[in-house]
Amino acid sequence: MRPWRLLPTPTGTPFTFGYAVVLTLTSLLAQYADPGLVSSLHQGSSTDVAHLTQTPLLVLLASALWIAGGIASPYAIGFLLVLTGLERRVGALRTAGVFLLGHVVATLATEVPVGFSVLVGHLPESSLHRLDYGISFGVAASIGALAGLFRPWLRWLVLVAFGGMLVDDLVAFTDPLTNWGHLMALLIGVATWPMVRRWRHRV
């Protein structure tokens, strides 16, 4: 395999390439713009319960325009390699669909229970407001989907390695809501195996 095929190109992987350009621009903005402006943009893009009940479509899209941890974070690197690999196998629109499926469903699956818990009094109202943005759910789902297109030994190696990392994060209990979201997103990606395997033969 040619090494340069691991990275996105405008013609070979237009979705990943275009998305990477957008993420690069927002990452530069986050690094060099006024901290108050950046904080305001991050808050406005957060997919917490408060924002999801007011402007769900806006924040679900806006939250995916930022990389939590910056452009050198593991999920940023994973984004380039994983989405490039998936797009070369199933095409741009289907890759976008897998990414969005993981991003949206895992977000709702973690935030909706918080809303209900606040409603019945099990959590304080402050739980409705939290900073939650980034591409990690979409990347986790894409890893799960791409693994289904690998040879069995590599497929299970990827799932055990990445899944084990996610379980370690969950056990550490630093951000359990996000950690559960990552595991759910990975399972969402695995659930797409029948589809991505059919799609691979149509590209």
Q: What are the tokens at 74?
A: 């593991």
| Whole-prediction pTM | 0.95
Domain boundaries, the chain: 8-200
Predicted pLDDT of residue 4: 72
Could you tell me how many helices (H) and strands (E) the chain has, helices first? 10, 0
Question: What confidence tens digit (pLDDT) does each residue in 23-55 have?
Answer: 999 999 999 999 999 999 999 999 999 999 999
- pLDDT for 137: 98
Q: Which amino acid is at 162?
A: F
Q: Which CATH class is domain 8-200?
A: mainly alpha
**DSSP per position, 107-133:** HHHHHHHHHHHHHTTSS-GGGG-----
Which string of DSSP letters, residue by residue, matches 8-51?
--TTTSHHHHHHHHHHHHHHHHHHHS-HHHHHHHHHHH--SHHH
Q: How far apart are CA 177 and CA 8, in angstroms?
A: 31
Per-run averaged pLDDT (10 residues), the chain, 203 residues? 81 97 97 97 97 97 96 94 97 98 98 95 92 97 98 97 97 93 98 96 63
pLDDT given at position 202: 66
Q: List, for residues 58-80, the tens digit of each pLDDT value.
A: 999 999 999 998 898 999 999 99
Is the CB of residue 96 less than 8 Å from the CB of residue 141? no
